[in-house]
Structures are given as structure tokens and as C-alpha cells.
Amino acid sequence: MQQTEIYDKLTNIFRDTFDDPDLVIGPQLTADDVDGWDSLYHIRLMLSVQEAFKIKFSALEIGQLKNVGDLANLIELRST
């Protein structure tokens, strides 16, 4: 799966999760950049991502993510 496809899909997931149709995501985006992104929303986001991409992440993998770019790279790695 190409990075552009991953970001398109992630954009929809983020917009749905945070109920913000104008949310724009990019590689450097972090929880600090999104209103309401707390630990509960992080769990909801990760579950939605795993469901949408039909992959599972370990707690260690999720804990090591620093930004959306890391998430996209992990998705690409796991989707091959």
C-alpha cells in the first residue's frame, strides 16, 4: 500500500474519530496538535486504524509511535 493511500485512509479515520471534517493530517502531526486527543481517543483511534487496515499492533508498537508519520510507516510495513 502506497503512503498516499495510507494518508487518505488515515485522514478519514482521524476526521471520524475526532468529529472534525476539516482535520488535516501530516507526518509531523501529534496528539498535542489535535483538540481532544487524550488517552481514551488514542485507544479509539488505534482500534479504528487496526480495523480499517485489517492489521494488529502490539502495545509496544503503539507506545513507540511519536507522530502520524510513524503510524503511516508502521502501517506500510505491516501491510506488505
The 10s digit of each residue's pLDDT in 2-19 is 999 999 999 999 999 999
> For 10-72, what is the HEC assignment?
HHHHHHHHCCCCCCCCCCCCCHHHCCCCCHHHHHHHHHHHHHHHCCCCCHHHHHHCCCHHHHH
CATH class of 3-78: mainly alpha
| pLDDT the model gives residue 7 | 98
Q: How do residues 16-72 score in pLDDT, each as one tens digit? A: 999 999 999 999 999 999 999 999 999 999 999 999 999 999 999 999 999 999 999
